[in-house]
Amino acid sequence: MYYERKQDKRKYKHVVDNNLKYKGRAIYGATDDLKRVVKVNKRLSKTKPTHKRRYPEVLDTETHELQHEKHPNMTEKDVYKKTRKLVRRMTKKQRQKVYSKFHAH
């Protein structure tokens, strides 16, 4: 049986982890709802982009992970679609706001 989790009001911590891995493979980003942490591998996003678009892969990865944070029950496919739409329509100011959430500590 599926039970809806109560929405946790604690804020997420945003972290750059250039050694981020899952099952031994490097990954672009991860969101841990239990620990309230969003991690992004900026180095991988810069060196091995998964697509060639008009916007940087890092922006795409960061926006994607922020969507997981904002909508924890959304499917991966829906997060991809929403991310693509959001990134295409972002102003320079909105992009800077996303970039500012993730900085190396």
For 33-46, write each residue's pLDDT tens digit: 889 899 998 888 77
**Is residue 91 included in any domain, yes or no?**
yes
Is 41:28 a contact under the CB 8 Å cutoff? yes
Residue located via tokens 């795409």: 60
Q: How far is it, in rounded angstroms, from Cα 71 to Cα 53?
A: 25
Tally Cβ neighbours within 10 Å of residue 40.
26
**Is residue 5 included in any domain, yes or no?**
no
Domain count for the chain, please give it. Answer: 1
**Is residue 2 included in any domain, yes or no?**
no
Residue type, 38: V
Q: Provide mean pLDDT across the span 21-41.
A: 91
pLDDT at 52 over 70: no
- In this prediction the pTM is 0.75
**Is residue 6 included in any domain, yes or no?**
no
Q: How far is it, in rounded angstroms, from Cα 84 to Cα 36?
A: 24
Q: Provide mean pLDDT across the span 76-96.
A: 92
pLDDT at 21 over 90: yes
Residue 70 belongs to domain spanning: 13-101
Is 40:62 a contact under the CB 8 Å cutoff? yes
